Structures are given as structure tokens and as C-alpha cells.
């Protein structure tokens, strides 16, 4: 087998396409021949030792894959050779083969392609958990999404519209705004980079103009940084603020705002929720497959690379140039 290995902390350019022994599945595991792997922002962090999880080196990044079961370890029920599965791997997905715990693999519908499957579970799982389990979003509510054109942001647009919510998509370019409107956003706004205090105030005013006097009911923040406080100031009474990610930096929030608005700040750590409540995760995946079959959600893949070009894909993610999702394939 081969894999894109991180041998020392660094950026995407440090990854090396390397040969390794093909693993043998242990008890409770499946050996999967990887057809496709999704690319996500945490992949850019883990290779720099900036993520919560710090695998031992050498390792391949890549937290979600799809492929075909080619070997089955002992004490595994419910899987057969040739099954098409997707899986959360944490890391190791930028490779040709991987062993995964059988209880972390999911058989996916026959009408779903390997590419869609590889770009499905992380973004839709995160955003469905955020909107359904954490925010408990309701039809008719207004949702503001920061970083709306990225993988989790675009998934949140589709899921919010499927739930009957109104969506304001905040993005960093007009190109991304057009993309968000094509997938269902009701309103869009373009924010500048590295907002100063006057820029933050202008950002808040624009959100309020689009949302109306009552403000927004739910904020989905996949950006952080100086955008966070400006957005929080636009929350409606008893609004919910979803903390999803920090590509612009970890913000400092004045907690008096939560008192004045009677609002909640809710952390969204989907990976931990999967481990802590696997039954709820299973129910959510069933819901998501139903939404996919109904045509209400579909991964928006904007770029495709061969697996050994993973560094280019990660650089696009790191530079915040991605619209929708990027997928890597073993051609």
C-alpha cells in the first residue's frame, strides 16, 4: 500500500507519498481498499500538531474515506467482502488501504458514489449534529452561517433549508456568495478579511439589515476570530450561538452579551458526540441518507485530486479558497 505520510510537523508541502506494508485487520476490524477520501480543515491542523488529536508519526492525515471491504478480522458481524463502506478514521485516510473498526464503518446506499460517500459523513454529520442536536433549529427561524461556502457551511445551508429555516450565508468573496445562493441561501453577505473595530460594526449592521429588527435565531460559526463578537451582537433574544471552528483564530467573547440577550453559546464537537452517543449518531446517519435519497442534500465537490496530490488539496483548504468540498481519489 501507499500513503501520504507526515514525518515531521509542517505544512502540506511536507507530506510524502510512501510505500508501507499492507495492514492485516485485527479482531473487530475491516481492511478497506480506499476509493476516495474527503479533505477537511482539521487535516491541515493535524499535520502541524495543532489539532486536539496528535497521532504518532509517521502517519497519514485524512479523517473520512469510502471504499470496498477486502478483508475481515475475527469477531466481525454484519459485513461481507465487497461491501461499499464509508468510515470516520481520525487519520490515515490519505492512503490506498486502511484498517478501520467495524463499528465505525457504515454501509452506504447503492445510488451514492464513492466520491459522494467520502465527502458525506464529516460535513453533514457535523452540521446535522449542530443544527438538530445542539441548536434544535425550527422551521421559520433565521440562521446565520459564517464560512458558509466551505464543506460544513454548505452542508449547513442545505440542512437548514430542509428544516424550513431562513439562511443568511456570510462568505469572503462574491464568487462564494453566488455559490451559496445556488444551493439555497436566502441572503448572502461578503465580509472583509481581518476586521478592525469599524469593520466589525459594519458587519453587525449588515447582518441586522438582512435579519430584521429581531436579529438571528441561530449562528453557525465555522470561522471564529474577529467575526465572532460582531455576529454574536446580532443574536435574537434566547438565540443560540454554535461554536464550530476557528480558521480565523480563537475569539474572545464578552460574556455580558450572553446575559443581555439571554442566549446560549453551544460547543459543537461532533467527533466526541459520535463516541459518546453512538445510537444518536446512527439515527442521524439514517436521517441523512434519507435526505440524500430525497435529493435534499448532496456533497458539493468543487475539486478533485489524485491521492498523491493531497498537499495541493490541503493548501487550498489552508488558504480558504475552497467552495464546497475537495475529494482525493485512488485512480
Contact between 97 and 32 under an 8 Å Cβ cutoff? The reply is yes
Give the pLDDT confidence score for residue 193 in this predicted structure: 82
Same domain, 88 and 167: no
- CA 211/CA 50 separation, integer angstroms: 35
Q: Is residue 266 part of a domain?
A: yes
CA–CA separation, 100 vs 302, rounded Å?
A: 27
DSSP assignment letter at 252: -
Question: In DSSP terms, which residues pair with 187 in a beta bridge?
Answer: 168
Residue 99's pLDDT is what? 98
**pLDDT recorded at residue 302:** 92
Long-range contacts of 183-192 (CB under 8 A, 24+ apart): 183/154, 183/157, 183/158, 183/300, 184/157, 184/158, 185/145, 185/148, 185/157, 188/148, 191/227
Cβ neighbours around 173 below 10 Å, total? 14
Torsion of CA 199, 205, 211, 212, to 10 degrees: 180
What is the reported pLDDT for 91? 95
Q: Are residues 25 and 101 in the same domain?
A: yes
Residues 247 and 147 reside in one and the same domain? yes
Do residues 113 and 149 share a domain?
no
Rounded CA gap, 36 and 40, in Å?
A: 13
Q: Report CA-CA distances (Å) from 72 to 2, 81, 114, 223, 330.
A: 20, 7, 20, 40, 21
C-alpha cell at 194: 481581518
Q: Is position 104 within any domain?
A: yes
Cβ neighbours of residue 130 closer than 8 Å, sequence gap 6 or more: 156, 220, 242, 244, 268, 270
Do 114 and 86 contact (CB within 8 A), yes or no?
A: no
Which pLDDT score is estimated for 275? 87
User: What is the distance between the alpha carbons of residues 65 and 26, in angstroms, rounded to a whole number?
Assistant: 19
The answer to the question of residue 275 being in a domain is no
Backbone angles phi, psi at 31, to 5 degrees: -95, 125
Helix H or strand E encompassing 272: helix 270-276
8 Å CB contact between 167 and 143: yes
Q: Output the pTM of the full model.
A: 0.89
Range of the domain at 109: 2-120+299-329
Same domain, residue pair 76 and 149 = no
**Burial class of 92 by CB neighbour count within 10 A (0 to 12, 13 to 18, 19+):** buried
Let me know whether 215 and 131 are in one domain: yes
For residue 234, the domain's CATH number is 3.40.50.720
Q: Would you list the DSSP string of 187-227? A: EEEEPPSS--HHHHHHHHHHHHHHH-TT-EEEEEESS-TTH
313: domain CATH number is 3.90.180.10
Alpha-carbon distance of 151 to 176, in angstroms, equals 12
Statement to judge: residues 63 and 141 lie in one domain: no
- Residue 320: predicted pLDDT: 80
**87 and 112 housed in the same domain:** yes
Per-residue pLDDT of the chain (331 residues; tens, 9 = 90+): 999 999 999 999 999 999 999 999 999 999 999 999 999 989 999 999 998 889 999 999 999 999 999 999 999 999 999 999 999 899 999 999 999 999 889 999 999 999 999 999 999 999 999 999 999 999 999 999 999 999 999 999 999 999 999 999 999 999 999 999 999 999 999 998 888 899 999 999 999 999 998 999 999 999 999 999 999 999 999 999 999 999 889 999 999 999 999 999 999 999 899 889 989 999 999 999 999 999 999 999 999 999 999 999 999 999 888 888 999 999 7
Q: How many CB atoms lie within 10 A of CB 235?
A: 27
Predicted confidence at residue 247, as pLDDT, reads 87
Number of domains, the chain: 2
Q: 294 in a domain, yes or no?
A: no
Amino acid at each position: 500500500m501507499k500513503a501520504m505520510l507526515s514525518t515531521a510537523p509542517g505544512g502540506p508541502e511536507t507530506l510524502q507519498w510512501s510505500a508501507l506494508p499492507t495492514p492485516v485487520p485485527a479482531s473487530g476490524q475491516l481492511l478497506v481498499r480506499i476509493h476516495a477520501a474527503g479533505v477537511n480543515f482539521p487535516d491541515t491542523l493535524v499535520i502541524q500538531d495543532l489539532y486536539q488529536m496528535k497521532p504518532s508519526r509517521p502517519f497519514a492525515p485524512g479523517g473520512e474515506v469510502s471504499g470496498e471491504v477486502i478483508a475481515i478480522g475475527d469477531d466481525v458481524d454484519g459485513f461481507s467482502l465487497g461491501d461499499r463502506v464509508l468510515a470516520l478514521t481520525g487519520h490515515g485516510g490519505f492512503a490506498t488501504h486502511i484498517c478501520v473498526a467495524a463499528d465505525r464503518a457504515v454501509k452506504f446506499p447503492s445510488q451514492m458514489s464513492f466520491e459522494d460517500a467520502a465527502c458525506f459523513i464529516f460535513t453533514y454529520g457535523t452540521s446535522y449534529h449542530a443544527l438538530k442536536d445542539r441548536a434544535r433549529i425550527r422551521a421559520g427561524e433565521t440562521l446565520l452561517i459564517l464560512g458558509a461556502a466551505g464543506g460544513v457551511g454548505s452542508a449547513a445551508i442545505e440542512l437548514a433549508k430542509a428544516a424550513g429555516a431562513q439562511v443568511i450565508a456570510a462568505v469572503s468573496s462574491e464568487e462564494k456568495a453566488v455559490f451559496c445562493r445556488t444551493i439555497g441561501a436566502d441572503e448572502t453577505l461578503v465580509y472583509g478579511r481581518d476586521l478592525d473595530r469599524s469593520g466589525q460594526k459594519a458587519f453587525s449592521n449588515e447582518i441586522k439589515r438582512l435579519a430584521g429588527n429581531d436579529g438571528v435565531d441561530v449562528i453557525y460559526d465555522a470561522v471564529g476570530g474577529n467575526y465572532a463578537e460582531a455576529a454574536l451582537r446580532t443574536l435574537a433574544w434566547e438565540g443560540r450561538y454554535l461554536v464550530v471552528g476557528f480558521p480565523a483564530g480563537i475569539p474572545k467573547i464578552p460574556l455580558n452579551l450572553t446575559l443581555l440577550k439571554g442566549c446560549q453559546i453551544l460547543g459543537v464537537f461532533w467527533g466526541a458526540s459520535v463516541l459518546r452517543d453512538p445510537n444518536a449518531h446512527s439515527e442521524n446517519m439514517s436521517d441523512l441518507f434519507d435526505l440524500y435519497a430525497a435529493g435534499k442534500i448532496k456533497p458539493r465537490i468543487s475539486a478533485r485530486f489524485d491521492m498523491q496530490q493531497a498537499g495541493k488539496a490541503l493548501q487550498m483548504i489552508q488558504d480558504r479558497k475552497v467552495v464546497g468540498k475537495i475529494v482525493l481519489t485512488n485512480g
